[in-house]
Structure 1
Amino acid sequence: MLADKVAECGVGYGMGIYSDAELLSLMTGLDEATASQIDFGDILASGNIPGVGPKTVMKIMAVREYAERIAKVPVKKVDIIRGPDDAYDMVKTRFLFEHREVFCILLMNIKGHVIGLKDISIGSMTGSVVHPREVFFEAIKLHAAAMILVHNHPSGDPTPSKEDIKITRQLVECGKIMDIPVRDHIIVGNEKYISFMEEGFMAS
């Protein structure tokens, strides 16, 4: 029982010990069985679940909205990219609860300090359209010295497609012309990622 778990553990072991249903139960007052039926991909449908009224649906939507806002808090300028792991750690929360493919750029100054994370394109569940002019417009606007490309695969599988590789190499060439090198391309999946630099996909 959740009540017994809370009484025994409280917050002393961190909130990570609680399941999604248990956390939702704590935040909304729903019992665990009902909370486990909630589909965050279609919250409005939760109103059809016995015991879940309009006020509870609104609470659930508020929980999700707040979580999404926290996930999109801008990165700090003091952060430095030393490798793919650092880049992934900085951007992974951007894609929490995201069911569409989003293409972003992580911008850095000459010392490798992160100066911005910018959304370039938001697409569907299967893809997004990326134009080099939009990518480099943002980089020039922030006086970036280098960038890392980032996007998610809503399917959870970060394996790059032929189109992913094609646009990456196109942007790498544009970066050479603009003197704003593209250091890497990170594809984010479900709790894992692929680095184009590590996998050798950057060069044609």
Structure 2
Amino acid sequence: MEKSLLLQELPESSWPRERLLKEGEKHLTDQELLAIILRNGSRSQHVMDLAGLILKEVQHLYELKQLTIEEWMQFKGIGQTKAVELKAVMELGARIHRATQPKLGRVSSSFALGSHLMEEMKGLQQENLIALFLNTKNEIIQQKTIFVGSLNQSIAHPREIFREAVRVSAARVALAHNHPSGNPQPSRNDLDFTSRVRKCGEMMGIEVLDHVIIGENEYISLREENYWD
């Protein structure tokens, strides 16, 4: 009886949505995920019941994407608009599954890294720290400006780098930042920051390949210049 009252008081799809927010999508059942996509059921049927009914009608999840718009509309509570949305969701999911992770080039050496970023960074009026996130083949899977400002400021923290590295499943990280003065010689702050990042990388099992400092027409690789030991 208490459960029935609760079902009447809460919005139809509130429970799976709340669970996704609190626990993440991987903890939800197929029925709960489908209920979120459906959004609502009918006057006589709760969306969770509708999702359960649909899943009982198919032998395997694969068959969901084979349902036609007319077949979706056979379920009470699914009109043409919702059937079209479901077909679009199924097709987008299939395309995402076939998609491959984009590659932005490959870092084969410190020279390649410096050359890759020289033109992009040498004219910047503020220091920009850029992280290149690499897979096991040293292919660039993501390039991101982590922050703007001097490396001695509080915003320069390794957690921002490794949060993104974990998000994109990077195996390695390469760093680069520019010196607006045009002189690429590393400062004490540059070296201290690099050391902190490398130590964090060692703890997390993500290798830091290099930190390149970009000047006006030249760069310095901290690894090549023996600042790495």
Query: Aligned AA for 2:199?
Result: E
Instruction: Give a deviation string over 1:7-65, Cα, whole Å, max 9, x none.
Output: xxxxxxxxxxxxxxxxxxxxxxxxxxxxxxxxxxxxxxxxxxxxxxxxxxxxxxxxxxx
Q: Could you list the runs of 4 or more consecutive aligned residues of structure 1 that deviate by over 4 angstroms after TM superposition? A: none
Aligned with 2:182 (options 125, 132, 156): 156
Larger gyration radius, structure 1 or structure 2? 2
Aligned with 1:94 (options 92, 95, 120): 120
Computed over aligned residues only, the root mean square deviation of the Cα atoms, in angstroms, reads 1.7
How many residues align structurally? 127
- Residues 1:127 and 1:97: Cα distance change in structure 2 (over 3 Å): farther
The gaps in structure 1 that reach 5 residues or longer are: 1-75
Equivalent-residue separation in structure 2 for 1:108 and 1:169 (angstroms): 19
> Which residue does the alignment assign to 1:123?
149
| TM-score, normalisation: structure 2 | 0.52
> Which residue does the alignment assign to 1:135?
161
Preserved CA contact (<8 Å) 2:104 2:142: no
Query: Aligned AA for 1:151?
Result: H
What secondary structure, in the 3-state scheme, does the structure 2 residue paired with 1:202 have? coil
> Which residue does the alignment assign to 1:187?
213
Q: Does 1:173 align with 2:208?
A: no
Equivalent-residue separation in structure 1 for 2:182 and 2:218 (angstroms): 8
User: How far apart are 1:151 and its partner, in Å?
Assistant: 0.2
The gaps in structure 2 that reach 5 residues or longer are: 1-101
What secondary structure, in the 3-state scheme, does the structure 2 residue paired with 1:117 have? strand
Query: Aligned AA for 1:113?
Result: E
> Which residue does the alignment assign to 2:111?
85
Query: Aligned AA for 2:127?
Result: E
Equivalent-residue separation in structure 1 for 2:152 and 2:193 (angstroms): 12
Preserved CA contact (<8 Å) 1:172 1:202: no
**Identity across matched positions, percent:** 35
> Which residue does the alignment assign to 1:61?
none
Preserved CA contact (<8 Å) 1:100 1:122: yes
Equivalent-residue separation in structure 2 for 1:151 and 1:97 (angstroms): 12
Instruction: Give a deviation string over 1:142-167, Cα, whole Å, max 9, x none.
Output: 11100111100000000000010001
User: How far apart are 1:93 and its partner, in Å?
Assistant: 2.7
| TM-score, normalisation: structure 1 | 0.59
Preserved CA contact (<8 Å) 1:101 1:127: no
- Residues 1:96 and 1:161: Cα distance change in structure 2 (over 3 Å): closer
Q: Counterparts in 2 of 1:37-52, with a 5 A limit?
A: none
Preserved CA contact (<8 Å) 2:132 2:174: yes
User: How far apart are 1:96 and its partner, in Å?
Assistant: 4.5
Query: Aligned AA for 2:215?
Result: G
User: How far apart are 1:78 and its partner, in Å?
Assistant: 5.4
